Structure 1
């Protein structure tokens, strides 16, 4: 659509869509300078480019979140453009900028640095984008990522505890982690998400371990969905490195509610295509007088998210660190026994399909579990196809993705925790003498690096646990002698070397298709309604008049944008927003920054749930003004249908050193309708 189009309209069917429209208005300014003042020469500053850049998952498939560290406490941003428009490393003049926010880092090892993050919105499907972060004269290198279709089948990859540093050699652990990422994405280049099982590092605030974890450039090209583990939770570095969407950081979601300033925490959720992902801080499991809500708070969060957003997805996947049915060192931990009481019945009642976990540095796949019990007595160990009934849930524990640590399988012990995690009565000891726990269809430990691939289809989830290393590859726990064997199993008395890329376990879950149930489907041709907006009137020029000179220090001018009428008659009553930004003011070869323009949005005629955006001051005083995208107006989910008229008072404050001229810029208006 042409940038000068004055109207944009979309139709929304039964599925979710995220669509952006562009239009433009022109701002004009004329002023006479009483004198030409020359700014004093500034000494050239030497700065350090941003570091620790990581591409994170956004609230949906049209968003990403970038997080990074910087040595400068300055206004920074993300600059983004389709890769096809970035020529010889030069970003085009119409590249999109997203303002960053953040705070000073507070851990001892990160003292003197700052964290920044920016939410990228309005991405289009099937486009490769190039981006960089930072500020003028202090940009990071450019990186790319690629969006794919916003509908249909897709794959995501799940990684158990990299836990960099846990072998005793953080460099070797980082290399093992990097090799797993490289291999997994070389054979699955179209994977769309990288999902964490927690424990990115061994010690929460050791930045050299974070450096090793973040060293691989795949973490700047594929979105990482972070999960907080017990080794991440004890400091602020996790929260400094990862900004996650739809996150509730209330004290009740922290392990220690009175330590929110020095530890990390929070629960979050996002929807990617047909999957609702909910990620929990399982370090908080017990309620406390200090305000931690424990498992009760998590279940309240999960319930609210599913009740409000479950209808938007076909599958629900929960992710948290502490595996409740894991088969190794943590199988009989007291805290896991508590979670085995608190979680399973609620997850069954809420319709969860798959739970992904880490923590125990081994692999397991449960039977179909309903209300904390094996749901189908006829299900056999290792079954390839699982037709779960209503309330049936599969629990998966991921093994180490870096090779930094492995735990040996433990034997079921009915003397612990009231016998809640004893032996599978149908199991016989395997060739190594190990007997499975009652909840698990598969338990495995080969002391080799692995990852989990999940293929999402309309009616099923196919899960594969895949070996990511072979004999001779980096495997720190084995290389350092922390474990004594790797990659061999006994079959009929013969040792077998297991090849990289071979499958440990594979199964397909068909949710809500168990015996005694039927799936009923109906298609409805909904009258979709429409979302659109128009600039009132025919004159697109907003004339700010002649700027007033204030003692040759600065100039002031003001005006109002032409009102914009927003119409939303969509039946889903989905959120919408209108945002705007300006480029530089120019007059021939003369120019000054658009940051000097600020505004105060207003709702001139109420309707369609419209609320005005926040006022933005001229960047002459502070900030980036309207040179960064700013919200003009917006409406939340569930708003009334109807029409609203939005306006804004403009205020321009520019330095007294600007040359005389008649300057113009373009106000670009972007709408976002979900």
Structure 2
């Protein structure tokens, strides 16, 4: 006869836990045990760490860098020089004093740290030039990093885009971000479409994120937008009032443009890069305020291309999720101004398509692989947490879903070359998963759309 379980209550608890995992993730969590880190691993020292490049001004003449130390380092500096093949390039380095801000999050659950964050914005740089820099305090230094400023002209360039890192960051997101850099080593920046971590204030998770990217963060400027997981209660009062706050680390560790709506500084912003206007939105807060700002930003847009990124998708892909307010407020503005590409996260699946019957129409004399399209919408995921695609896909939306995936870590390489924008999505093991071109004509209007998915691997479910 079959043996009875020795601990039936424990067995029932295990079943309930697995059931909960199925509900949250869309599938049983089969990842191996998480590594255990001693708390000292995350603590700052007098040695610079978490070195990261961001844009705070004109990418052709400015570049910002931010880093962390313990609170004993009160006066930090950065050195910069034009990069040269000779190891003696540093002799011409210019030294700048850093702005230092103390983050005292000792009372914030999950953070429980005091650290100094230092930042420098290099100004007066020459467009299209390669620079080397390092940061420190005059005794303790980082290694030398390199970056290239943007050109004043609309020259060809590429950038990376990734969805949610969020879970299993050190174990699994590390391979994704490194594969992306290997595939596009000349990329000029990387868009992170929210949920960089799972618990907004967690020092351990932020340390995993910086460790997973490592020196890539110091070479390739980041363009982050906050996701819902970048907002959590920071105090007992917050928990009692069911209030959430932006990650206490966010504004300290990212030096971002201050040109967005007043209450959303460094979470909604814009910048131009070689003929492309990049707009970052905060889909967690004040969507109506951002709608007015977005309309203004796009009305005064002299660039040929427009790319917008935020976290919550206009057309949801997973479970019972939907974001009707974002769709009602922002999509008409995208349509009005002919936004080319919208890059999103949140739903832990992959989807690519376009909206509205007009954008689905095929122009006379063209086949379905070479038609006209309006805004292209993409949802992607880069971390280890996956959801199932909703059964009705985009059927309830005025939108056409062209390509989708489940249970697949992906990064995207986007190349802009004159009148052509080329989009490619790759798996973390290097296979081409999705591809298309957008081609602009001589007059303003819908882009010519060229489908290139024929050379990609089969759709993953």
Same fold (TM over 0.5): yes
Deviation digits for residues 195-217 of structure 1, max 9, x if unmatched? 11111111111111111111221
1:91 correspondence with 2:83: no
Deviation digits for residues 510-531 of structure 1, max 9, x if unmatched? 3578999899xxxxxxxxxxxx
Q: Which residue of 1 aligns with 2:272?
A: 271
Q: 1:230 aligns with which of 228, 231, 256?
A: 228
1:502 correspondence with 2:412: no
Q: Which residue of 1 aligns with 2:341?
A: 354
Q: Distance in 1 between matches of 2:349 and 2:86?
A: 44
Task: After TM superposition, give the deviation of residue 123 of structure 1 in Å.
Answer: 2.9
Q: Which residue of 1 aligns with 2:244?
A: none
Determine if contact 1:59/1:269 at 8 Å carries over to the other structure. Answer: no
Partner of 2:230, secondary structure, is coil
1:155 correspondence with 2:158: yes
> In 2 relative to 1, CA 365–247 (structure 1 residues): closer, same or farther, beyond 3 Å?
same
Q: Which residue of 1 aligns with 2:46?
A: 48
Q: Which residue of 2 aligns with 1:577?
A: none
1:200 correspondence with 2:196: yes
Question: Where do residues 103-502 of structure 1 align in structure 2 (5 Å cutoff)?
Answer: 103-108=101-106, 109=111, 111-147=113-149, 149-151=151-153, 152-163=155-166, 166=167, 170=168, 173-215=169-211, 216-234=214-232, 235-248=247-260, 250-251=262-263, 253=264, 266-284=267-285, 294-308=286-300, 310-311=301-302, 313-329=303-319, 332-333=321-322, 336-367=323-354, 369=355, 373-379=356-362, 384-388=369-373, 392-398=374-380, 400-402=381-383, 404-412=384-392, 422-423=395-396, 438-469=398-429, 501-502=430-431
Determine if contact 1:460/1:510 at 8 Å carries over to the other structure. Answer: yes
Q: Distance in 1 between matches of 2:148 and 2:444?
A: 41
Q: Point out the structure with the larger helix share.
A: 2
Deviation digits for residues 399-456 of structure 1, max 9, x if unmatched? x213x2111111228xxxxxxx634xxxxxxxxxxxxx65133242241211111111
Task: After TM superposition, give the deviation of residue 81 of structure 1 in Å.
Answer: 1.1
Q: Which residue of 2 aligns with 1:61?
A: 59
> In 2 relative to 1, CA 394–182 (structure 1 residues): closer, same or farther, beyond 3 Å?
same
Q: Distance in 2 between matches of 1:458 and 1:157?
A: 18
Determine if contact 2:361/2:372 at 8 Å carries over to the other structure. Answer: no
Q: Distance in 1 between matches of 2:261 and 2:329?
A: 21
Structure number, greater radius of gyration: 1
Q: Distance in 2 between matches of 1:517 and 1:347?
A: 12
Partner of 2:311, secondary structure, is strand
Determine if contact 1:386/1:510 at 8 Å carries over to the other structure. Answer: no
Determine if contact 2:159/2:413 at 8 Å carries over to the other structure. Answer: yes
The Cα RMSD (Å) is 2.9
Partner of 1:195, secondary structure, is strand
Task: After TM superposition, give the deviation of residue 318 of structure 1 in Å.
Answer: 0.8
Query: TM-score normalized by structure 2?
Result: 0.75
Determine if contact 2:161/2:190 at 8 Å carries over to the other structure. Answer: yes
Partner of 2:209, secondary structure, is helix
Query: TM-score normalized by structure 1?
Result: 0.52
Deviation digits for residues 168-216 of structure 1, max 9, x if unmatched? xx4xx32322212222222222111111111111111111111111122
Unaligned runs of 5+ in 2: 1-44, 233-246, 449-461
State the 4+ residue runs in structure 1 displaced beyond 6 angstroms: 512-519
Question: Where do residues 68-83 of structure 1 align in structure 2 (5 Å cutoff)?
Answer: 68-72=67-71, 74-83=74-83
Partner of 1:507, secondary structure, is strand
Task: After TM superposition, give the deviation of residue 84 of structure 1 in Å.
Answer: 2.0
Deviation digits for residues 274-305 of structure 1, max 9, x if unmatched? 10111011111xxxxxxxxx221111221222
Q: Distance in 2 between matches of 1:355 and 1:190?
A: 22
Larger relative contact order (Cα-Cα within 8 Å, sequence gap ≥ 6): 1
Q: Distance in 2 between matches of 1:131 and 1:191?
A: 18
Task: After TM superposition, give the deviation of residue 54 of structure 1 in Å.
Answer: 0.8
Count of aligned residue pairs for this structure pair: 378
Unaligned runs of 5+ in 1: 1-46, 255-264, 285-293, 414-420, 424-436, 470-500, 520-674
